[in-house]
Structure 1
Amino acid sequence: MTSAKRAITLVQYGVAEVLEESRDVVRSPSTVLAIPSVIRLRRYVRRPRAHPIPFNRRNVLRRDAFVCQYCGAHDELTIDHVYPRSRGGRHGWENVVTACRGCNQRKGSRTPDEAGMTLRLPPRAPSFGFYAYGQFAQMREGWSKYIGEAR
């Protein structure tokens, strides 16, 4: 997925070709360009994924599918440290989960075992594929034949 500006630039320089155009256009005083909806690179150079997925609140929520990892609620979500920071717990992928406000308060400064709560899934760093899938959450209808199952 790329921006409309980058897609137009890639097509203009011959780096990519248009497979499908959207109904949207970009206008200048002398030109009207249809914005590409699907482009294909003429040549692809694979770049290694050198950077890990950024650890931040938004990505933790995305990893946990915006669901409380204790009760399954979708409202008033917060971030909870499985092993509390007050007891030496780290602030990273393996120790942070999404929790609703009620579960987070009920757990307090205890571990899930001490609070009598169970996690739906153990926390871990997401894979790049799972992270990239979030970019296609609002996928357009015409893209399905090019992307297929995005999992």
Structure 2
Amino acid sequence: MAKVLVLNASYEPINITSWRRAIVLLIKGKAEQVEHNGKVIYAEFPLPTVIRLRHYVRVPYKEIPLTRRNILHRDSHSCQYCGYIGEDLTLDHVLPRSRGGMDTWENIVTACVRCNVKKGSRTPSEAHMHLRHPPRKPYSSLYFEVTKHLKSGLHDEWQKYVIGL
């Protein structure tokens, strides 16, 4: 069913929750509705798509794990050298492991098999291959969830609350 973006009192996105949990927060007076999609639950009670907490909540920093799935998502499931989108994607170290390249967000990109083989154990500049987007660590773990919903086109109203997309 519908998901709801939860904003802190400072309008900073902090979570994505179910519409039922959002309704409970609204009824209890802990949150206020910021955006809705026109659908209604009860007469005169629209279904929220974005709510804002009335009081500021401290959210602890959460480290984003460096996993294949997260790297593929960060790179939009496309080769960072040629732009290929498909099933045959691998992970490539920008500075090869054989030269001391580490497993970090800034050193691993998604590459198709063809580009990965072509690059070999060279740097992109040595192989005359240019990265489409420089690899970087994502802003937050919420970033991944929000981008999935934005790419689906279901929650375009969330765009104005998310920085860096």
TM-score with structure 1 length normalisation? 0.69
Distance 1:14 1:39, change over 3 A: farther
- Superposed CA RMSD in Å reads 3.3
Does structure 1 residue 57 correspond to structure 2 residue 68?
yes
**Per-residue deviation, 1:53:** 3.0
Residue 54 of structure 2: which of 43, 57, 61 is its match?
43
Name the residue aligned to 2:149: 136
Q: Aligned residue for 1:29?
A: none
User: Which structure would you say has the larger RCO, counting Cα contacts within 8 Å and 6 or more residues apart?
Assistant: 2
Aligned residue among 88, 93, 101 for 2:105: 93
Q: 1:22: how far off?
A: 7.2
**Which amino acid letter does the alignment assign opposite residue 15 of structure 1?**
K
4+ residue runs of structure 1 moved beyond 3 angstroms?
Answer: 11-14, 17-25, 34-37, 128-133, 146-151
Deviations 1:55-79 (A, max 9, x none): 2222222222222111111122221
TM-score (norm 2): 0.64
Which of 111, 114, 118 aligns to 1:106? It is: 118
Distance 2:161 2:90 in 1: 30
CA 1:41–1:120: 2 relative to 1, 3 Å = closer
Query: Which structure's residues are more often helix, by fraction?
Result: 1
TM-aligned CA distance change 1:147 to 1:84, over 3 Å: closer
**Which letter does structure 2 place at the counterpart of 1:71?**
C
- For 1:16, the aligned partner's letter is A
Query: 3-state SS of the aligned residue for 1:79?
Result: strand
AA in 1 matched with 2:74: R
Aligned to 1:117: 129
Give CA-to-partner distance per residue, 1:85-116, whole Å, 9 cap, x none.
23321111011011112111222233223333
Matched length: 141
Could you tell me which of 8, 14, 17 is aligned with 2:29?
A: 14
User: Which amino acid is the alignment partner of residue 149 of structure 2?
Assistant: F
The structure-2 alpha-carbon separation of the partners of 1:105 and 1:24, relative to structure 1 and needing over 3 Å to count, comes to farther
Q: Which runs of 5 or more structure 1 residues have no equivalent in the other structure?
A: 26-33
Q: Which has the greater radius of gyration?
A: 1
Q: Residues 106 and 15 from structure 1, CA distance in 2 versus in 1: closer, same or farther, beyond 3 angstroms?
A: same
Shift in Å, 1:136: 3.1
- Describe the SS at the equivalent of 2:125: helix
Structure 2 alignment gaps of length 5 or more: 6-16
